Amino acid sequence: MVKRGDAVLNKDLWREALNLFAGGVNSPVRAAVKPQPFYTDHAYGPFLFTENNKKIVDYVLGYGPLILGHSPQQVKEKVIDQINKGWLYGTPSKVEIKLAEKISQHIRTVEKIRFVNSGTEATMNAIRLARGYTKREKIIKFDGNYHGAHDYALVDAGSAATEFGVPISDGIPKDVLKTVLLCNYNDLDCVENFLKKEDIAAVILEPIMGNMGVIPADQDFLEGLRELTKTYNSLLIFDEVITGFRVGLEGAQGLYEVYPDLTTLGKIIGGGFPIGAIGGKKEIIDNFTPNGRVFNAGTFNANPVSMAAGLATIEELEKGKPYDIANAAAREIVEELDKIPIFHTINSVKSMFQIFFGIEEVHNAKDARNANKEKYIEFQRKLLDNDIFFPPSQYETIFTSAAHTDEIVSLTIERIKKIASEIK
């Protein structure tokens, strides 16, 4: 890749950032890039172009939303059209209807929807809605599942919460923690025991974990959860903030053919702009204000720019080709990694994968924590030195996009092979 300019610029920015922001960043995982984060000036297709003039192939993709790659023309045009028409109305707009219709056309469990501004808001409101609807207080979540940065989700959370050693955040009232019960992923017995004993409003999970690396649920596990939650009158919430429109138009629920009561969405449905959504059965979603008594509101809810970008993104995905390219890119890289003995376990689903060193099977968060994360980081840093950006944490997902063409994949594989020979 082209290398120009000097490194001083990044260092200066980082020094200033450390004075301005806790840990120098505004979302912790960004500080996991060592020895310091690089600063992006612009991005296009599969590339990030840094402030000190490096061109880096990006497999982080904004932590998932950018399934079409950076600044795709079709999305850009729709966003510019929308900006020309204004970007915040404080009234409903047609584009929110169109995006809602599009989502519910593909995700059959989404009969009605509420748009919010992040995945965090989506899961926070989904949990509140489940509590309001069932008139119960407790929820079950799974070790290592990440549902964003609110009080009810930061209990043995994955992603940066695990990376930075705060799986349970300080500042959460003890009484809140008591309402969140924890099970291991893929462990149905634990769930049944809690459901039998407690008044559980909902079971919430990532149907494919993407925040401890990639860990797919067992088919039996999801089917069992569906059955058990029905039996005990609890709601089943699939957190598809990552998987929604990434593993296919119908999300993970379409892939497994297991259908939840509520689905949380984010990332891809905003085409790279801030978004979150809670979708589900009419009778449940209708409990949100102003119809019902579960409060949700937001100045920026359903903001027209995110709506337009999300709609344009889904319209592109409907053509099928973007999925073909993104999935083929991941498949080809995984196939090559599989041939190299140092990469012990590679979990993958469609355009998501992660590598685990020193462990033969990764089935839950405990397994992921037992992997040799130092080795992953050594590999990730060497790759970055070679202008390929994989996530800076074992507990994130490597993503591919429709911009990861054969040429980019070949280049990536070539560099991986070179680096693999340097890792003991």
Ligand X SMILES: Cc1ncc(COP(=O)(O)O)c(C=O)c1O
**Catalytically annotated residues:** 146, 239, 267
Site string for ligand LHPZP3FS, 233-252 (x = CB under 6 A): ---------x----------
Stretch that binds ligand X, among 85-93, 100-108, 119-127, 412-420 (CB under 6 A): 119-127
**Smallest gap from residue 58 Cβ to ligand LHPZP3FS (A):** 14
Q: Binding residue for ligand LHPZP3FS (CB under 6 A) from 50, 52, 118, 159?
A: 159
Interface residues for ligand X in 85-114 (CB under 6 A)?
A: none
Residue reference for tokens 């599969």: 46
CB of 210 to ligand X, least distance (A): 6
Footprint (CB under 6 A) of ligand X, residues 260-319: 266
Residues 46, 167, 207, 210: which binds ligand X (CB under 6 A)?
A: 210
- Interface with ligand LHPZP3FS includes 27 (CB under 6 A)? yes
Residue whose CB is less far from ligand LHPZP3FS, 32 or 307: 32
Q: Which listed residue (241, 268, 317, 402) binds ligand X by CB under 6 A?
A: 241
One residue of 160, 200, 203, 371 binding ligand LHPZP3FS per CB under 6 A: 160
Q: Which of 396, 401, 402, 419 binds ligand LHPZP3FS (CB under 6 A)?
A: 396
Residue with tokens 């929110």: 96
In the complex, the smallest distance separating the C-beta of residue 414 from ligand LHPZP3FS, rounded to whole angstroms, is 28
CB 58: neighbour CB atoms within 10 A?
24
Nearest to 348 by CA among 186, 158, 214: 214
By CB under 6 A, is residue 162 in contact with ligand X?
A: no
- Choose, by CB under 6 A, the member of 58, 239, 316, 336 that binds ligand X: 239
Residue 211 touching ligand X (CB under 6 A): yes
Say whether residue 392 binds ligand X (CB under 6 A). Answer: no
| Smallest distance, ligand LHPZP3FS to C-beta of residue 239, A | 10
Task: Please pick, from the candidates 63, 152, 245, 323, the single residue that binds ligand LHPZP3FS as defined by CB under 6 A.
Answer: 63
Summarize as ranges the residues that interact with ligand LHPZP3FS (CB under 6 A): 27, 29, 63-64, 146, 159-160, 211, 242, 396
Summarize as ranges the residues that interact with ligand X (CB under 6 A): 118-120, 123, 146-148, 206, 210-211, 239, 241-242, 266
